[in-house]
């Protein structure tokens, strides 16, 4: 898995959101608006939005997808009860 290169001094100082769904739309000017939502009792509740250049999102999206696959594969290989919290 990847190494967390995020500056440790910022951890715990920025908001954290649990997101289950995203919606996206064209924000104009080559930008994408991504609505980050949490699903509660079947209802999507927007938590925050991000506007990002489409070209950057393509690159970031690939990186996130690769990392998510690595995490998913690792979790599948663990035995029941072998989870670390």
Strand ranges (E), 1-85: 21-28, 31-40, 43-53
What's the pLDDT band for 7 if we cut at 50, 70, 90? confident
Q: What is the pLDDT of residue 80?
A: 67
Question: Could you tell me the pLDDT band of residue 17, with boundaries at 50, 70 and 90?
Answer: very high
84 vs 11, higher pLDDT: 11
Q: Whats the size of the chain, residue-wise?
A: 85
Per-residue pLDDT tens digits for 28-79: 999 999 999 999 999 999 999 999 999 999 999 999 999 999 999 998 887 6
Please, are residues 18 and 38 in contact by the beta-carbon 8 Å criterion?
Answer: yes
């Amino acid at each position: 898995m990847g190494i967390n290169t995020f500056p440790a001094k910022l951890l715990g100082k920025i908001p954290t959101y649990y997101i289950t769904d995203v919606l996206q739309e064209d924000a104009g000017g080559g930008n994408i608006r991504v609505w980050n939502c949490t699903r509660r009792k079947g209802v999507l509740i927007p938590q925050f939005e991000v506007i990002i250049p489409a070209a950057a999102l393509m690159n970031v999206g690939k990186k996130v997808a690769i990392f998510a696959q690595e995490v998913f594969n690792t979790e599948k290989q663990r035995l029941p009860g072998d989870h670390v919290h």
